[in-house]
Structure 1
Amino acid sequence: MNAKAAEALIKRFNEPLTDTDILAIAKLTNLDPAALRVPADMQGPDGEAPEAMLSPFAGADPSCLMTDTNCPIMSWNIRGLNTPARRAVVSEAAEAHKLAILCLQETKIEAWSRPLVREVGGARLADCVVLPASGTRGGAAISWDSSVVDVQSHAVGQFSITVSVIIMATSTPYWLTTVYGPVDDSRKDEFLSEVARAAPPTNNPWLINSDFNLIYKASDKNNSNINRRMIGKFRAAIDATGLREIRCKNRRYTWSNERDDPTLVSINKFFCNNAWDALFPSFLLHATSTSCSDHCPLLLAAASAPRRPARFRFESFWPRFPRFHATVQHAWDRPVASSCAFRRIHVKLDRVAKDLKIWAKGFFSSTRLQLHIANEVVLRLDIAQEHRRLSSSELGLRKQLKLRVLGLAAIERARKRQASRITWLRAGDARTSFFQAKINSRRQKNFIHAIHTTDSIVTSHDDKAKEG
């Protein structure tokens, strides 16, 4: 069924649905009365299935939730934009990486102008929100490409800038904060309080970056000259706001005092909450050349993975569904024309896998899309019930769809639990978002971001394949 047919079907809710309409909806949501009760019993005691529908992103098409949209973000303590040469370096970096958003710290510029914004960000990053410097100290700026992102609102504090970002290609919103932490320890409590106030409402995606001038663990510095009291306070602030670090893939430290025996510290960081991480699971953080600064520019961008052929993955909940055992038995009992025992067992396992893929496609294909369709149809029937009496067929469909919603949500949670490799929790003992966070973490650890050869570093997948 195409989009036009689905739209025409939605309009038919103004009058009682015919049997043909109900059959079409049942086909769209893959209703199978024999299988409905099984996933409904999997929902667990925590009521996760209905709660999952309360997310502000639940109504969106799952295929467009940012996983394939590249929106590169760079954060850089530039140590001053007072000279044309430094501004040219920043502009070249923005163009080279096709940035959608550029966050700068320690700009040392008190008065900004439109020509200055264009000189720094180029024609691409023509819009800007700034935190003016105090004389020639401090200062920050966020520039963006208005053809890629839309900044709805902003707030400028003493140490930070917070903006509301919407990715125009997908209409996906999140909050972005860039900060420049004070060097003076006496002002760091005030700085951490401002970071806490910048946190958006619970469950809103939030990304925060910049030069914090703080570390939250001793390993972020290459010597033992550390302030453990401030480490504890920074760590407490991170925990209180629900943030986790997005680790840099190719650098351990981001700042150097550039002496013969240098002090190296990781004070430039990206943090995000679980909601942001769920929207951008494929994004990776890399450091680029320090260039004219003593701080590493940090580039956060999507890692395009090579397309792989679909592999067979057994789902732990399959044996509970109708015809599973019969499908396995039928595939296993078919004769194999081979005298080699290893060959026979290989063929049998291959047949079982192929038959189970066909069987599972009938039950579980496009699970998330079916879940959203089922919710939309239930909503339409709820609205129709306010204006007319639902027929017995419509009431039966609505009851089955509600059961289908519970089942689909339970299936998604069980699938994510298995993919996360978390085996010490029962299926009903944690949120789906917990398992998704673990899946994202494993994906980032398993990704090979670059291969170092004798004379170069390769990052594209074609070049990696050649080197391999």
Structure 2
Amino acid sequence: MNFLIWNIRGLRSSESQQRLHAFVKENQIKVLNVLEPMIDLDQRFMTRRFCFSRVISNLSGHIWVFLAADVQAECVLDHAQFLHIKVSAPFLPTSVFCSFVYARCDYIERRDLWSSLLHVKPVLGPWLVGGDFNVVRDASECLGTRGGRLLPMEEFNTFIMDSGLIDAGFEGSSFTWTNKTIWKRLDRVMVSVDWGDYFSSIRVEHLPRTVSDHCPLLVTAPVFARGPSSFRFQRMWLRHHGFLQTVRLNWFLPCSQSGMSRLFVKLKRLKNHLKWWNRDVFGNIFDKITEAESAVRSAELVCEADPSDSNWAVLSDRNADLARVTAMEADFWKQKAACNWLEDGERNNKLFHNMVKKKRVAKRSSAYGMMGFA
């Protein structure tokens, strides 16, 4: 799926419109984000002009998002400095949350941007944040100036760390904005840490700036060609009160096979049963966390109104439930982190063994040469 993000600095001229239309056509853009168009939005004309079927705009009119016919989008939050939408399409593995940013020049006003973006951060699923942030991360992203004030950069880096976003990198020019004296990387794209669970990669290219002092950002996000998901035992299941019983009942069901065939059939049957049990009985661990926290808050309000022994006992039970599901969530993330580490470790081990093998071959050849066998 291809995105194009561009602070075009005015879309009134025919030259700007022609250049933007060419970018869209050449790169088969599905989602187009235009920043600072400096004109009123004529939805019917603009969608037809750039070959899209729909456009969404924030109330200030500084952020436009055009959508292709096979892409659906729901506006989640309309903010003065960003537009947060939920994008879905038949060719996407899941819905993608996109926050298109047009930040204020004043770093004090940007503080509201950072806090509001943290507020809309999705709990789960891919999140793309891109646009004109009007601030750099460090002095290396500037040329012709010392890099500006330190505090705005620190606040920007703190937001990136708190939000768990990762800079997607770029290809092309190192700087996205210039006034022909100073050069800065003000425009960028960042993604959530679980982006790689849904997309095979992400590529950001800084296209040549022509009619604007900002580079257009071409974002390419290839989708995995996924097969059926593999089965993996979850350690958090062991904390569920009914897990061992459901395993026991399924395992001792009658089976007509014998020997290793019997073991194979029973394991396959148990695997299918646990897939169903995980979906329909155990449920989503993150939903469980939300429900448990809500139950604790309700019990606390009841205790404040009537601090009786029975109400305190109910609150204690609710806190115990929250502690149990929190421990389940911790098990989930520990196991996920360990699996990722093992996968990386396998690749690192192969690299290490190949290096050692090459050294051994080199030493053996050298030894043979010294013995006169070369």
Q: List runs of 5+ in structure 1 lacking aligned partners.
A: 1-70, 305-365, 374-381, 424-468
Q: 1:142 aligns with which of 57, 65, 73?
A: 65
1:99 match: secondary structure: coil
Cα distance in 2, alignment partners of residues 235 and 173 from structure 1: 27
Indicate how the Cα distance of structure 1 residues 414 and 292 shifts in structure 2: closer, same or farther if over 3 A, else same. Answer: closer
- Spell out the pairing of 1:372-387 with structure 2 (5 A cutoff): none
Q: 2:128 aligns with which of 183, 186, 207?
A: 207
Cα distance in 2, alignment partners of residues 414 and 113 from structure 1: 48
Indicate how the Cα distance of structure 1 residues 413 and 251 shifts in structure 2: closer, same or farther if over 3 A, else same. Answer: same
Cα distance in 2, alignment partners of residues 129 and 269 from structure 1: 21
1:179 match: secondary structure: strand
Q: What is the one-letter code of the residue matched to 1:142?
A: V
* TM score, norm. by length of structure 1: 0.51
Q: What is the one-letter code of the residue matched to 1:230?
A: P
Equivalent residue, structure 1, for 2:13: 83
* TM score, norm. by length of structure 2: 0.63
Equivalent residue, structure 2, for 1:230: 152
Contact 2:170 2:204 in 1 (8 A): yes
Q: Are 1:130 and 2:57 an aligned pair?
A: yes
Equivalent residue, structure 1, for 2:186: 267
Contact 2:139 2:147 in 1 (8 A): no
Cα distance in 2, alignment partners of residues 130 and 422 from structure 1: 50
Indicate how the Cα distance of structure 1 residues 185 and 404 shifts in structure 2: closer, same or farther if over 3 A, else same. Answer: closer
Q: List runs of 5+ in structure 2 lacking aligned partners.
A: 234-242, 256-261, 276-335, 351-374
Equivalent residue, structure 2, for 1:242: 164
Q: What's the RMSD between the two structures over aligned residues?
A: 3.7
Q: What is the one-letter code of the residue matched to 1:233?
A: E
Cα distance in 2, alignment partners of residues 193 and 206 from structure 1: 16
Equivalent residue, structure 2, for 1:280: 199
Shift of 1:112: 3.3
Equivalent residue, structure 1, for 2:102: 180
Contact 2:33 2:64 in 1 (8 A): yes
Equivalent residue, structure 2, for 1:315: none
Indicate how the Cα distance of structure 1 residues 414 and 242 shifts in structure 2: closer, same or farther if over 3 A, else same. Answer: closer
Contact 2:59 2:78 in 1 (8 A): no
Deviation per CA, 1:110-141: give whole Å up to 9, x if none.
Answer: 4433112322xx22x2211112446xxxx011
Contact 1:257 1:294 in 2 (8 A): yes
Shift of 1:392: 2.6
2:98 match: secondary structure: strand
Q: What is the one-letter code of the residue matched to 1:144?
A: L
Greater relative contact order (CA < 8 Å, ≥ 6 in sequence): 1
Cα distance in 1, alignment partners of residues 7 and 254 from structure 2: 66
How many corresponding residue pairs? Answer: 268
Contact 1:165 1:174 in 2 (8 A): yes
Q: What is the one-letter code of the residue matched to 1:371?
A: F
2:84 match: secondary structure: strand
Q: What is the one-letter code of the residue matched to 2:184?
A: V
Shift of 1:192: 1.9
Shift of 1:283: 2.2
Q: 1:371 aligns with which of 212, 225, 231?
A: 231
Shift of 1:88: 2.1
Cα distance in 2, alignment partners of residues 195 and 226 from structure 1: 23
Cα distance in 1, alignment partners of residues 345 and 138 from structure 2: 32
Cα distance in 2, alignment partners of residues 110 and 401 from structure 1: 58
2:95 match: secondary structure: strand
Equivalent residue, structure 2, for 1:161: 83
